[in-house]
Every structure is written in C-alpha cells, then in structure tokens.
Amino acid sequence: MYCCDELIKAMDLEMIVKKEPHQIRDGRLRNELNTEYFLKSGQDGGPYNYLGFNYCPFCGKALSRGLWAAEKKK
C-alpha cells in the first residue's frame, strides 16, 4: 500500500500523516499543495503544523493524487 518501509515507520510515529486537508482540525496547513500526505510537527497536544508533500521524502516515489492529476494532463 505504501512505497517503502521508511514511510510506514514515519506514519507509525505520526510524523507523517495521510488524510484529507479538510480533516485537519488540530493544527494549521502551512502550504497549499494538492496532496493528502503531510509532515506533522509541533508539541504534543497541538496545535500542529502540517506541511504537504507530493513525493516520498525517503524513496522519492510520487505519492499525491495532485501529482497524478498533473501527470494525466500532460
């Protein structure tokens, strides 16, 4: 389901989360990529900062649907 073990580990640690942007209620989105993958940072209990990303930071695979949509338009 996920591209690599490193990403799964990061998700286990909840440093990376996969959710819809409108589901983020315990913090703020810090950028506006069309993605469902976010780096999460901040103190326990929040509020958190969420930074969207398109590519896996570990193996470089394209992850987000925004990227797939962009690819299809080419």
Residue 4 or 70 with smaller CB distance to Zn ion: 4
**What are φ and ψ of residue 7, in 5° steps?**
-65, -40
| Site stretch for Zn ion (CB under 5 A), options 6-14, 25-33, 46-54, 64-72 | 6-14
Please identify which residue in 15, 19, 30, 59 interacts with Zn ion, judged by CB under 5 A. 59
Q: Is 58 in the site for Zn ion (CB under 5 A)?
A: yes
Does the bond joining 47 to the residue before it have cis omega, within 30 degrees of 0?
yes
In angstroms, the Cα distances linking 72 to 1, 29, 36, 42, 66 are 21, 26, 18, 35, 10
| Site stretch for Zn ion (CB under 5 A), options 9-17, 27-35, 39-47, 50-58 | 50-58
Query: What residue ranges bind Zn ion (CB under 5 A)?
Result: 3-4, 7, 56, 58-59
